[in-house]
Structure 1
Amino acid sequence: MGESGAMEHKQWAASCFNKVWDLLGKEDRSERDDDEMVHLCHASFWHWSQHEGHTATNISIGYWQLARVYAVIGQGEQALAYAEKCLKVTAEAELAPFYMAYAHEAQARAYAVLGERERMEAAAAEASRLTERVTDAESRGWLLADLATIAR
């Protein structure tokens, strides 16, 4: 694929990713919105995977967003499956603590949806431990805010 095709994949990936965030932030999301959110999230992930310059970070974030979306719509098993993929990619690539913390946050959120309190607490504790290693205050704030939204 030429350079313009690679740029198109990157643009589509980012566009779909951002539209997912718009839907996640919508207060009165409908079932149709949830369906669109799932499709956009998968499209974003696919486009990142097709972009020649994609990195393990892109894939980690894509899996994390898939886990988040599935948790938000109450599909805990799917959320956990993507959280586990996020953890695997993030660990294998030895990504920064920020990404590892978010991988554990995704896992904790999935366990919360599944009603597995003990596992949720363990994953949230690991995410919190890793958050302490995040040096950027804004990034650490995002992590702490997201961890606080997990239903306990």
Structure 2
Amino acid sequence: MTIHKQLASSCFNKVWDLLSKEERTERESEEMVHLCHGSFWHWTQVEDHTPTNLSVGYWQLARVYAVIGQGSQALDYAIKCMKISADAKLDAFYIAYAYEAAARAYSVIGESAQKDEALARAADYAERIADAESRGWVTADLATIS
């Protein structure tokens, strides 16, 4: 495993640790943003990175920005996630999560009509996911968007 792949994975996992905290300090939120960008950058340095790697990276960036309340940045990354996922014709799982990211971003910025549309698209793609466990993850995450 290359150093970039190791660092990308390490940063990605540390972001998850911070995302899973019920209460984060401002410093931890800032660290989470930096780690997420670091993870994404390191993936771009892996010679054989794939559109799937980029889709997941954009999705995590969108999620982080939504969680810290920066909806416009979250939406920018969600749109990038949707584009790369669609252009690469990724599995329904990744496209569902791209729309989940958009719905979450629209929720943060208070655009309820766009949020509802993105939620519907995400749910449609979730139904196409063959693996029941993966479909359940998407469905559970969609249920957390208000």
TM-score, normalization: structure 2?
0.99
Unaligned runs of 5+ in 2: none
Kindly provide the amino acid, as one letter, of the partner of residue 50 in structure 1: Q
Which residue number in structure 2 is paired with residue 129 of structure 1?
124
Which structure has the larger Rg? Answer: 1
- Cα shift at 1:53: 1.0
Equivalent residues in 2 for 1:71-86 (5 A)?
71-86=66-81
Which whole-Å CA distance do the structure 2 matches of 1:28 and 1:125 have between them?
30
Report sequence identity in percent: 66
Which residue number in structure 1 is paired with residue 35 of structure 2?
40
- Cα shift at 1:27: 1.4
SS in 2 for 1:16: helix
Which whole-Å CA distance do the structure 2 matches of 1:130 and 1:28 have between them?
31
Identify which of 87, 92, 97 aligns with 2:87: 92
Which residue number in structure 2 is paired with residue 102 of structure 1?
97
Q: Which runs of 4+ in 1 moved over 6 A?
A: none
Which whole-Å CA distance do the structure 1 matches of 2:13 and 2:136 have between them?
20
- Cα shift at 1:62: 0.1
Which residue number in structure 1 is paired with residue 143 of structure 2?
148
Kindly provide the amino acid, as one letter, of the partner of residue 81 in structure 2: C
Identify which of 44, 50, 63 aligns with 2:45: 50
Which whole-Å CA distance do the structure 2 matches of 1:26 and 1:107 have between them?
22
Kindly provide the amino acid, as one letter, of the partner of residue 116 in structure 1: E
Which whole-Å CA distance do the structure 1 matches of 2:133 and 2:17 have between them?
20
- Cα shift at 1:76: 0.3
- What number of residue pairs does the alignment pair up? 146
Which whole-Å CA distance do the structure 2 matches of 1:18 and 1:53 have between them?
20
Identify which of 92, 107, 112 aligns with 2:107: 112
Cα RMSD after superposing both structures: 0.7
